[in-house]
Structure 1
Amino acid sequence: MELNIRIPDSTGNIFEYLQKGLFISSNSVDETLRNLYDQIEDNFESLSLFFAQIGYTLEHGNEYFYFSRNEPRMTLEQKIQRAYYWIDVLDLFKTYDETFGPGYRFQPEQILVEANINVVLQNKLDSLRKHFSDKDIRKDILDNVIRQLTKDSFLELENDKTNTYKVMSAWHYLERLIESINIYDETEEDEKPE
């Protein structure tokens, strides 16, 4: 069966970027990525059909796009460890500022200064140490977290002179991931009237 679909000229660039497991966010600092976002948005149906033919599912989130793919399942332990990491990361940044989310701009140094006077933030940052075997200094831990978030396209360096980062729309993906965790509370069950 041959599909007759029109795909944009930038399809190769879209595939090359998304197949790395990255996100294309509408609020990217990079104009090229914003243009790719617009191309996907304008041609979502055609691109979805095209990528499905090669085993990729084009997913649309809240102002971001990404690929999902049926791959061998991770072990339960690996999934739990990864979820713990993301929970700790979101907890750190939401402790720093409850409004931390897409479009937010910050400098890592601001977080370190706040951690020096805020014991709760200090403890959250220290708790991330368990995810990095060789990191003892808070600055190194925070640098590692920011490096990973940037690599995974949740953050972008907006200004290298001031070391200012911008939170991408893909951050919604992490929030959705955490919000989807349902925890059964036994006390609610005990309080039901008979």
Structure 2
Amino acid sequence: MSRMNVFALVIDQFRFLRHVGTGKPAILVRLFLIAVAPIAGAISLRLGWQLNSVSELSAALGLLAGVFISAFALVFSLRLNLARRPTSNLKQRASRLMDESALTLLTAGLVAGTDAIWVTVVSAANDTDTPVSVWPTAITVALSALVAAYFLLAVRRLHVLYVDTFPPFWKVQALAGGAGTAMDLEEAARRVAIRNRT
């Protein structure tokens, strides 16, 4: 049964939700991920929402889950390549960001896949000519809100990983242009990377 314990993945992903600069737990992000599904489900119940059809949603969620898993595999392969090289502070930081990005993508794939399975069950159990009842709709809305939250979180973590590894050109140009003495762009990029690490 330990192989089916998907909660271990969620717990590990929560532990990696930390501020990049300080390493302290990202409390607000954790609270948001905990609260978004219950709040969305409660709003759906309160407003009495009912889905007319869920077949298209099931296909979209299944596709999204596959995209998340594929992106995880790509980040994981990059992480393996980085692990083969000599360590440095920059590479250790990039490794930590890759680990968090990979776990976020994998968790997003898990949530999207679970939502797709749930929607498929609802679609099979519901008559196509009648709307989905209130409670299954609320659960679907709650899971879909969580999928959207993890999607946004995964995009943000990949963005942080990219700009941390490759400093944006406007930061490099601003540092090179604002220096008292002439500074080439390579040296400016190195200094921006050092600033990002501190």
Normalized against structure 1, the TM-score is what?
Answer: 0.26
Relative contact order, CA 8 A, sep 6+: which one is greater?
Answer: 2
More helix by share: 2
More strand by share: 1
Normalized against structure 2, the TM-score is what?
Answer: 0.25
